[in-house]
Amino acid sequence: MGSVKDLLVIDKPSKDKPGTAQFVFSDRYSVFDWGEMPDIIPDKGAAICITTAYFFEKLEEMGIPTHYRGLVEDGGTKRLADLDSPQSRMELNLLRVLKPNLTGNTYDYTIYREERANIVIPLEIIYRNSLPEGSSVFKRLKAGSVSLEEIGLDKMPYPGQVLERPLLDVSTKLETSDRYINWNEAKELAGLNEAELEEIVSITLRINELITREARRAGLTNEDGKLEFGFDEARNPILVDSLGTLDECRFTYDGLPVSKEIARIFYRNTNWYDAVEAAKKDDEIGWKELVAIEPPALPSALRAAISRLYKASCNEMTHRVWFDDVPTVKELLKDLKAILQT
Q: Are 123 and 172 in contact (CB under 8 A)?
A: yes
Closest by Cα among 156, 318, 168, 324 to 246: 318
161 CA to centre of own chain? 22
**Measuring CA to CA, how many Å separate 104 from each of 87, 111, 173, 202?**
42, 18, 18, 36
Enumerate the β-bridge partners of residue 125: 170, 227
The total of other beta-carbon atoms located within 10 Å of residue 22's CB is 19
| CATH assignment at residue 74 | 3.30.470.20
User: Quick one: angle between helices 300-318 and 44-62, nearest 10?
Assistant: 30
- Domain range enclosing 220: 5-341
Closest by Cα among 217, 222, 208, 239 to 315: 217
- Number of domains, the chain: 1
Within 8 A by CB and 6+ apart from 30, the residues are 3, 4, 36, 37
Task: Please list the pLDDT of the chain residue by residue as tens digits (342 residues).
Answer: 567 899 999 999 999 999 999 999 999 999 998 999 999 999 999 999 999 999 999 999 999 999 999 999 998 999 999 999 999 999 999 999 999 999 888 999 999 999 999 999 999 999 999 998 778 899 899 989 889 888 888 899 999 899 999 999 999 999 887 899 999 999 999 999 999 999 999 999 999 999 999 999 989 999 999 999 999 999 999 999 999 999 999 999 888 888 888 999 999 999 999 999 999 999 888 899 999 999 999 999 999 999 999 999 999 999 999 999 999 998 998 878 777 776
